[in-house]
Homo-oligomer: A and B are copies of this chain.
Amino acid sequence: MTIERTLHHFPLDPASRQVRLALQEKRLPFSEQIERYWERPESLAALNPSGLTPVLVEKDGASTVIVCESHAILEHLEERFPDTPLLSKDLNQRAEARRLSQWFEQQFDAEVNGFLLREKMEKRLTGGGSPDHGAMRAGRDALRRHLRVIEDMLGVRNWLAGDDLSIGDFAAAAHLSVIDYFGDVPWRDFPLTKTWYVRLKCRPCFRPLLTDRWMGMTPATDYDNLDF
């Protein structure tokens, strides 16, 4: 029996991007339902009481599974479709990938996205006015602090959580790629992180993200450039 899979997501939502990368890396086909989450659609709230993206719906014959938000979806995919694993068998690296995933969804989201994406993206989506310069500066400073940590990790590791590609890389790449859409990642000052990002950008799983466009928001020149 084939599973009929639908992902409810918003193209420039970092949490949604993590899940798209995982689905694509695992070569699990899915259809897409784009959600304008800031308009609080009732159809989305009926699936996820928090009204947030991403939501994965899998229909397998008569049974339907609804999985809401990045943490639950990534663990579900790993348990159900373990081919092309995104968590290491090594317990320390497995824990590290999950730590990174939570770190990006909580710390990075609050300290960087809460400023940069709020000012540059959400204000435009909701008609909330022009970006506030103080908030943009606070977001850029926090981004540099986080990039420094990533740069140090990549000095001693092949991928962010250790030897193999994991959900930790996808968490980081999902967040950075949205900020990169708006041209705000200072790649030049973080060469190891740039090299790591180029490796990810060249993978087939990444391609759909590079073709994402949203009305009224033109991506930065190098957004889909593999050699930037």
Residues of A within 8 A of B (CB): 48-50, 65-73, 75-76, 80, 91-92, 94-96, 98-99, 101-103, 105-107, 109-110, 149
Contact = CB atoms under 8 A, between A and B. Distances in A.
Contacts of A101: 71
A98 B70 CA distance: 10
A69 B110 contact: no
A95 B76 contact: yes
Contacts of A99: 48, 50, 67-69, 71-72
A71 B98 CA distance: 7
Copies of this protein, total: 2
A48 B102 CA distance: 13
A98 B72 contact: yes
**Chain A interface secondary structure, helix, strand, loop or mixed?**
helix
Given A72-B102, A105-B102, A106-B106, A67 B49 contact: no
A48 B96 CA distance: 10
Nearest to A152: B49
A75 B72 contact: no
A125 B149 CA distance: 27
Given A65-B92, A67-B91, A75-B98, 5 more contacts: A49-B149, A69-B103, A80-B91, A105-B106, A110-B110
Given A75-B75, A149-B49, A65 B106 contact: no
A145 to B, nearest CB: 12
30 contacts: A49-B149, A50-B99, A50-B103, A65-B91, A65-B92, A65-B95, A66-B92, A67-B95, A68-B95, A68-B96, A68-B99, A69-B99, A69-B102, A69-B103, A71-B71, A71-B98, A71-B99, A71-B101, A71-B102, A72-B95, A72-B96, A72-B98, A72-B99, A75-B98, A76-B91, A76-B94, A76-B98, A102-B105, A105-B106, A106-B106
